[in-house]
Amino acid sequence: MSNKVIHALYNDDDILMDAVKKVKAAHHHIDEVFTPFPVHGLDKAMGLAPTKIAITSFLYGLTGLSFAIWMTNYMMIQDWPQDIGGKPNFSWFVNMPAFVPIMFELTVFFAAHLMVITFYMRSRIWPFKSAENPDVRTTDDHFLMEIAIHGNEEELTTLLNETGAVEINVIEKE
Amino acid sequence: MYQFSGKIKTFALTLMVVGALGIISGFLGTPSSVEEVKEQLHNAHSAHGAHAPKAAHVEEAHVEHHSDAHQTSHDTHAEAAHDAHAETAHQDAHEIVDHEDTHAAHVFHQLKNRPWAAFYVALFFFFGVTLLVLAFNAIQRAAQSGWSIVLFRVMEAISGNLLPVTIILLIFLLLGSAHVHHLFVWMAEGTVDPTSANYDAIIDGKSWWLNVPGWTIRSIVYIVGWNLYRHLSRKASIAQDEAGDLVNYYKNFKYAVAFLAFFLFTESMMSWDWIMSLDPHWFSTLFGWYVLATFMVSAVTVIAIVTVYLQSKGHLPFVNNSHIHDLAKFMFGFSIFWTYLWFSQFMLIWYADMPEETTYFVQRFEEYKLPFLAMIPMNFIFPILVLINSDYKRIPQFVIGAGVVVLLGHYIDVFIMIMPATVGESWSFGIPELSSILFFLGLFVYATFSSLAKAPLLAKGNPFLKESETFHY
């Protein structure tokens, strides 16, 4: 079986959105769309599953909160209790107000950083990886829609021409 | 056009009548004299001290035995000692009676304050919510935001409550400066007179700001200023509906900008004048923000609840669940904002540990522990957990559920701002408090829905209306 794909290029995000809707309406599966910037509503138009990153963010936040509680307790109560302004240092709970800023900061820190790392891993981006986008113009001012061809090259080309593509290429993928 | 139905009118008026009756009974229920309070305290005390006679009996037996043993040899000495002892005992007893007298007088004043304070808490809560709905609307206009235009008439209707509630507030405040009620202790006779027994150096030091004429003038200026904006903004908003040009739209933008500049100063100042001065020795520099946060979250919640109600009755076909989603996001965000300020105020005072500042929180921890600590789950943990999920923010039941808890929690917050300084340890939640809430809730419902019926539900002259109608997340 051939790995032929069709690449349709657009130069406007509104035209792209309409094209995606038309292609979906004609019951073709869109493999990928490469854009120079996030296009609002594109994920819904492509029929992608809703992101679960918010849930991971919540869990990472809880992790950070737990870590902050453990850390402040270990540092300030167990390992090296210090008298700071006469505040109680024999119990974590009665000294809790002093630790709230730390708990808040570490919650945000864990949620933010781990969420970014998760996003990169899920998007298959890591250091020294060669770029996946098939056309360098998608990093500048063009939008590229990739559709796999299953013996329907003619039909797809006509359809994509109708949607206002500025360029259509058929490419053999390795 | 929305019809102000007879059903809602009856409901609102019933609430007001029931509330007014309860408020009156609260005033009638206050003790008429210190003696009455003493009797009440005595009854409460004897219930605690049921074992006292037994102890006295033991002591008596001991004294008898003692005097028997020494009767012959130390007769004269014992007599003298007995006399001396009797005298000190008498003095002690006298001091106890004195102390009981002052304590009873103290409690008497607190109980006298209670119906006033209960009225003030509900009044201030509903006033604050209404004012912040007006301010929220002004922010939307000044920012020329697109999403919220379909909600403008709802916000304008709620701010229709501003005039009646501020009139009541002004009367209430003027009664304070006329010494009809004594919630503001710094107004008492002689606090700034060095020759008076009542002289208070701290209040005297603040008297350049905290004096009755200045305070009264400021109160009038705030209230007139806010009502003026509400009047002009509403007029321009209705005029824009049928206008062919954008003159009224630009006018409203300018009014909103001017109002916000005025509001952000006067809001802080009114929170010092009307709330913080209840504890005239204490101050907090972020108090104005803290009061703002309390009413901001309550105001957004009230907008959401009224919108969901009208939507469920089919009056707002142009409001979709993305608008509800945005309101719920504000509820979520401002809940965190309130917690941030509430905790910041506490933590700095807790950390610095200076007696003149900590008294404020010591009293709240000792006498108001349950409501004070209940605010953390009600105003922070519950709304956060309910509204953190993006999908839940669009479900009306979740928004209403979180909203009711948030409103109760922020009522408690206002309660805790006002009650400790006025009623102190003699607080409770009963008929005066509940009736005051009912009265102002009735007034709120009446004012909101009657002004809702006075204009079309869609501000159709707004140039960004299309953006709001097609708004989606």
A-chain CB neighbours of B388 within 8 Å are 58
Please provide the DSSP assignment of B327-385 as one string: HHHHHHHHHHHHHHHHHHHHHHHHHH--HHHHHHHHHHHHHSHHHHHHHHIIIIIHHHH
CA distance B320 to B311: 9
What is the per-residue pLDDT across B1-29, written as a single tens digit (0 to 9) for each? 888 889 999 999 999 999 999 999 999 98
| Residues of chain A with C-beta less than 8 angstroms from the C-beta of B394 | none
Domain residue spans of chain A? 4-47+134-172, 53-122
A40–chain B Cβ distance below 8 A for any pair: no
**Would residue A164 be called left, alpha or beta, if left means φ above 0 and alpha means ψ between -120 and 50 degrees?**
left
At B382, which amino acid appears? F
Q: What is the mean pLDDT of residues B244-273?
A: 95
Q: Is the pLDDT confidence value at B295 over 50?
A: yes
Interface residue A86 vs chain B (CB under 8 A): yes
Residue A86 to residue B353, Cβ atoms within 8 A? yes
pLDDT (tens digit, 9 = 90+) per residue, B166-192?
999 999 999 999 999 999 999 988 888
Query: Which range (B40-44, B154-158, B443-447) has the least confidence?
Result: B40-44
Is domain A4-47+134-172 classified as CATH 1.10.150? no
Considering only CB atoms, B350 lies closest to which of A54, A58, A97, namely A97
Query: What sign results for the dihedral spanned by CA atoms B46, B49, B52, B54?
Result: positive
Q: How close B343 comes to chain A (CA, Å)?
A: 8
Q: In terms of CA atoms, which chain A residue is nearest residue B349? A: A97
What is the count of residue pairs from A and B with beta carbons less than 8 Å apart?
A: 17
pLDDT value of position B90 = 56
- pTM of structure: 0.85
Task: With residue B68 as reference, give the H or E element that holds it.
Answer: helix B52-69
pLDDT class of B47 with cuts at 50, 70, 90: low
Q: Is A108 on the interface with B (CB under 8 A)?
A: no
> Chain A: nearest CA to B306, how far in angstroms?
29
Do the Cβ atoms of B351 and A86 come within 8 Å? Answer: no
Residue closest to B371 by CA, chosen among B423, B325, B320: B423
Residue B391, both tokens: 């999908």
Of A133, A145, A135, nearest to A45 by C-alpha is A145
pLDDT cut 90: percent of chain B above it: 71
Q: What is the pLDDT of residues A77-117, one digit of tens each?
A: 999 988 887 887 788 998 899 999 999 999 999 999 999 99
Find chain B residues with C-beta within 8 A of A86's C-beta.
Answer: 353
Does A127 reach chain B within 8 Å, measured CB to CB? Answer: no
- Nearest C-alpha in B relative to A84: B351
- pLDDT tens for A3-60 read 889 999 999 999 999 999 999 998 889 989 999 999 988 988 998 888 889 999 999 9
pLDDT score at B102:
81
Task: Check CB contact under 8 Å for A87 and B351.
Answer: yes
**Model pLDDT for residues A73-88, shown as the tens digit of each residue:** 999 999 998 888 788 7
Number of C-beta neighbours around residue B351 at 10 A: 13
Rg (CA), chain A: 25
Kindly report the number of other CB atoms within 10 A of residue B377's CB atom. Answer: 14
Cβ atoms of B126 and B443 closer than 8 Å: yes
